[in-house]
A and B are shown apart, each in its own frame.
Chain A
Amino acid sequence: MTALLRAELLKLRTTRTFAAVVASAAALSLTLVVLGAALGKETKAHALFTNSAITYIIVILGAIAMTGEWRHRTITGSVLAAPNRARLLAAKAISYSLAGIALAIIVTVPTIIVGELVLSGRGLATLGAGGIADVLWRNLAVAALLGPLGVCVGALVRNQIVTVVGLVIIAAAIEPAVFQAVPEVGRLLPLAGAPGGVLGGTHGDLSPAPALAVMVAWTLTIFAAAAWRLRSRDLV
């Protein structure tokens, strides 16, 4: 398992998509936070730094990585190298959990430093050490679970475009609509509902601990489904 994980991490480090997306996400996030801190009238530091939109990029990256195995027809070689398909999927899921943590750190830390300086310069309330730690763990936890979720959804669907477009539609349209209509259900959903609770979102969200438990349950359930499907699928 360690070897498989090392191999997946090497793939991740040496594929340009990941580096390009991380750099773009960091730059975009920094820009948004600086604008929000500099121009916002009643800027709340906590809300400013728990940027769920940026964190969600990891779910797309995970989905692209897994569906890429079919798109580039490398899944056969991957399974030949690691015939235990559940372990192969687990290694990729864990690697994207670690990638999510790395992405969250790379995106969150610079934005907090710059944002805090801007807020302090305007004489507005800053987070302080406790607040920074709170923002960090929330962002890291969500990213650490959304990465594997993207991998597992990709293993179930396989088609890259369908997977990515589907995830965006679910996260940006369907789950918010369900939340508006039936909040008790919407807050339990995997891409926007439960992550919103972990990040400390709007009124009606779950509190962080139960929301995190819901995210873990979703990730494990979709992993189990994806592993079962991957094991039973013929690679012809």
Chain B
Amino acid sequence: MAPVEIRDLSKHFGAVAAVNHLSFDIEPGRVTGFLGPNGAGKSRTLRALLGLVQPSSGAATFGGLRYDELDEPSARVGAVLEDASFHPGRSARNHLRVLAITGNHPPHRVEEVLSAVGLSDAADRRVKGYSMGMRQRLAIAAALLGDPQVLILDEPNNGLDPPGIIWLRGLMRQQAADGRTVLISSHVLAEVAQSVDDVVVIADGELRAHGPLEQVLGGDDGPATTVRAQDPVRLTRALERRGHHVDRDGDVLNVLGATPEEVGKIAGDEQLSVLGLAPRTRSLEEAFIALTGVQS
């Protein structure tokens, strides 16, 4: 049973289907990116998973149990939501102490997570004086308080400065390396591409792609290879004779339907010099646009 299971989940608001028969699993020990354009249904899905909205049908569970069925949920699941907010008149330490008491976590965890997110020195200041990045760090500290097996992060990079983003990336990788499950929703695709092992792409509330990042980037067009040739005209003819589609840009050829090994063998058979040879993958942005139909 997967740590996170979405089964035929739908959420309707009147006639509008925010989430429409969505199904996927999230595996442990991996960081999974949850991607989709604005209004795709990402936040609704995460909120259904966390018991904050009632699904119209289907289920979103942690190993088969709804969030509100978990014993000590904050020890199983840590969540950072996009609009994480705190009472402005209370300090970070006070907020975490309240959460520690509620979740039956030992008091020393408060100091540990404050230190982990770099807020120890500001822990007794009232939150209303915090920057957005500091609030985000406090939200992450709250999520880590129960040392959970599953981390749900909805746009966690909001407000973080570059060192903070690098720190968060390291945290997610470490959590996954420890065998935990990390699900991150983000619109910063370049950042996601550097952080995740798997991706789930949704649009209009429906699943568009799910799998390892390399597989999703590869698309459904088969392998593709970028090759730089000393005689691009002759190599183009040779490749086309063997049924490959070639897009030529100067001395660089993009060959569809062929692996680098196949292109290299064809060049060798024709006794043509190859100056560079690499598999061609789509960027995450290209894959995202192709899968969701959304243009920038």
Contact B52 A76 (CB under 8 A): yes
Q: Is B296 an interface residue (CB 8 A)?
A: no
Q: Is B74 an interface residue (CB 8 A)?
A: yes
The one of A6, A17, A73, A83 in contact with B73, judged by C-beta atoms closer than 8 angstroms, is A83
Say whether, besides A15-B90, A72-B87, A84-B68, A79 and B51 are in contact (CB < 8 Å). yes
The one of B44, B88, B104, B142 in contact with A236, judged by C-beta atoms closer than 8 angstroms, is B44
A1-37 contact mask (Cβ, 8 Å, vs B): 1 or 0:
0011011001100111100000000000000000000
Considering only CB atoms, which chain B residue lies closest to A69 in the complex? B87
Within 8 A of A (CB), among B49-102: 50-54, 67-68, 70, 73-74, 79, 81, 83-90, 94, 97-99, 101-102
Q: Is B103 an interface residue (CB 8 A)?
A: yes
Q: Is B47 an interface residue (CB 8 A)?
A: yes
The one of A14, A72, A79, A81 in contact with B99, judged by C-beta atoms closer than 8 angstroms, is A81
Contact A81 B103 (CB under 8 A): yes
B213 to chain A, nearest CB (A): 29
Q: Which residues of A contact B81 (CB under 8 A)?
A: 76, 80
Q: Tell me, in angstroms, the Cα distance from A17 to B90 when the chains sit together.
A: 11
Q: Which residues of A contact B73 (CB under 8 A)?
A: 80, 83
Q: Tell me, in angstroms, the Cα distance from A76 to B97 when the chains sit together.
A: 17
A62 to chain B, nearest CB (A): 16
Q: Tell me, in angstroms, the Cα distance from A77 to B47 when the chains sit together.
A: 12
Q: Which residues of A contact B68 (CB under 8 A)?
A: 83-84
Contact B53 A80 (CB under 8 A): no
B104 to chain A, nearest CB (A): 6
Contact A14 B94 (CB under 8 A): yes
Q: Is A68 an interface residue (CB 8 A)?
A: yes
Contact A15 B89 (CB under 8 A): yes
Q: Is A234 an interface residue (CB 8 A)?
A: yes
Q: Is A172 an interface residue (CB 8 A)?
A: no
A115 to chain B, nearest CB (A): 34
The one of B67, B86, B94, B101 in contact with A72, judged by C-beta atoms closer than 8 angstroms, is B86
Q: Which residues of A contact B44 (CB under 8 A)?
A: 236
Contact B89 A81 (CB under 8 A): no
Q: Which residues of B contact A68 (CB under 8 A)?
A: 87
Say whether, besides A72-B88, A74-B85, A83-B73, A3 and B104 are in contact (CB < 8 Å). yes
Number of interface residues of A (CB under 8 A): 26
The one of B52, B99, B142 in contact with A234, judged by C-beta atoms closer than 8 angstroms, is B52
A181 to chain B, nearest CB (A): 42
Q: Which residues of B contact A83 (CB under 8 A)?
A: 51, 67-68, 70, 73
Number of interface residues of B (CB under 8 A): 32
Contact B98 A10 (CB under 8 A): yes
Considering only CB atoms, which chain A residue lies closest to B44 in the complex? A236
Say whether, besides A10-B97, A11-B90, A236 and B102 are in contact (CB < 8 Å). no
Q: Is A209 an interface residue (CB 8 A)?
A: no
Contact B85 A72 (CB under 8 A): yes
Q: Is A232 an interface residue (CB 8 A)?
A: yes
Task: Tell which of A3, A15, A81, A234 has the most Cβ of chain B within 10 Å.
Answer: A81
Contact B74 A77 (CB under 8 A): no
B32 to chain A, nearest CB (A): 20
Q: Is A235 an interface residue (CB 8 A)?
A: yes
A228 to chain B, nearest CB (A): 13
Q: Is A161 an interface residue (CB 8 A)?
A: no
Contact A3 B102 (CB under 8 A): yes
Considering only CB atoms, which chain A residue lies closest to B68 in the complex? A83
Q: Is A82 an interface residue (CB 8 A)?
A: yes
Q: Which residues of A contact B104 (CB under 8 A)?
A: 3
Task: Tell which of B47, B90, B98 has the most Cβ of chain A within 10 Å.
Answer: B98
B59 to chain A, nearest CB (A): 15
Contact B101 A3 (CB under 8 A): yes
Within 8 A of A (CB), among B131-157: 142
Contact A14 B102 (CB under 8 A): no
B133 to chain A, nearest CB (A): 18
Contact B50 A80 (CB under 8 A): yes
Q: Which residues of A contact B90 (CB under 8 A)?
A: 11, 14-15
A69-101 contact mask (Cβ, 8 Å, vs B): 1 or 0:
000111011011111100000000000000000
Q: 4 shortest A-B CB distances, which residue pairs? A: A73-B85, A83-B68, A234-B53, A235-B52
Binding site for B on A (CB under 8 A): 3-4, 6-7, 10-11, 14-17, 68, 72-74, 76-77, 79-84, 232, 234-236
**What are 18 A-B pairs with beta-carbon distances under 8 A?**
A4-B102, A10-B98, A14-B90, A15-B87, A16-B89, A68-B87, A74-B85, A74-B87, A76-B52, A76-B81, A76-B84, A76-B85, A79-B52, A80-B50, A80-B52, A81-B102, A82-B102, A234-B52
4 additional A-B residue pairs with CB within 8 Å, beyond A72-B87, A76-B52: A3-B101, A7-B102, A15-B87, A83-B51
